[in-house]
């Protein structure tokens, strides 16, 4: 599996996997904790790409930290990180993003040079409402592609792979790969952990 994941990331710019990391009851604990954060008026909630996000989950609750660390310290996850960005990679951000009904999505974009992300689904989202969508193999486009005026999601959606899935599914993707967020037509909110890394020296 390891070789297939690394090969997919290098070829397509991402890889969507069902690696068993957290048990469903552990995901439930994490989800309830995040629900409480969103309902607490003292929580620092920021608008990230037009949706509410909590920028840093680590360091607030020791039991929650253990669950969050379990994801990034998983043997398979660590092996994939080392293969893609080197052994001395740095954890940059551990955040949660919530897409809600009426979310109009986010146009195609790239993130910081050298960035590598993990998305970990906390809710079942089989139809991909408000989910990240990838333009496969676009990390191989030349640098001048960043100066292009990319069409909105409505026009480019047929070209995108929507990262739908079940709670506990994990996605690895190079942030150089052009990606967007699909609009949320459902009545439900969907949460995803976004874990950002950089290689040494970045």
Burial class (CB in 10 A: 0-12, 13-18, 19+), 113: exposed
pLDDT, one tens digit per residue, over 62-110 is: 999 999 999 999 999 999 999 999 999 999 999 999 999 888 888 888 8
Mean pLDDT across the stretch 15-28? Answer: 93
pLDDT recorded at residue 59: 92
Mean pLDDT across the stretch 28-56? Answer: 91
pLDDT at 149 over 60: no
Q: pTM for the full model? A: 0.92
Number of other residues whose CB lies within 10 A of the CB of residue 144: 7
Mean pLDDT across the stretch 135-145? Answer: 86
pLDDT recorded at residue 52: 92
Helices (H), ranges, 55-124? 62-72, 75-85
- Residue 43 gets which letter from DSSP? S
């Amino acid at each position: 599996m390891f070789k297939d994941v690394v090969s997919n990331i290098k070829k397509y710019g991402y890889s969507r996997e069902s690696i068993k990391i957290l048990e469903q009851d552990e995901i439930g604990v994490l989800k309830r904790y995040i629900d409480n954060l969103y309902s607490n008026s003292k929580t620092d909630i920021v608008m990230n790409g037009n949706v509410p996000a909590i920028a840093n989950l680590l360091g607030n609750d020791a039991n929650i930290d253990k669950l969050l660390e379990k994801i990034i310290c998983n043997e398979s996850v660590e092996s994939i990180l080392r293969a893609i960005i080197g052994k001395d990679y740095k954890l940059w951000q551990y955040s949660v993003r919530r897409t809600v009904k009426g979310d109009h999505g986010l146009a195609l974009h790239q993130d910081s040079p050298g960035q590598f992300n993990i998305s970990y689904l906390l809710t079942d989202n089989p139809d991909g409402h408000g989910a990240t969508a990838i333009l496969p193999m676009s990390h191989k486009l030349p640098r001048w592609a960043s100066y292009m005026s990319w069409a909105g999601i409505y026009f480019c959606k047929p070209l995108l792979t929507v990262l739908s899935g079940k709670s506990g599914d994990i996605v690895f993707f190079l942030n150089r790969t052009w990606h967007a967020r699909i609009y949320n037509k459902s009545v439900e909110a969907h949460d995803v952990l976004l874990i950002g890394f950089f290689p040494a020296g970045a």
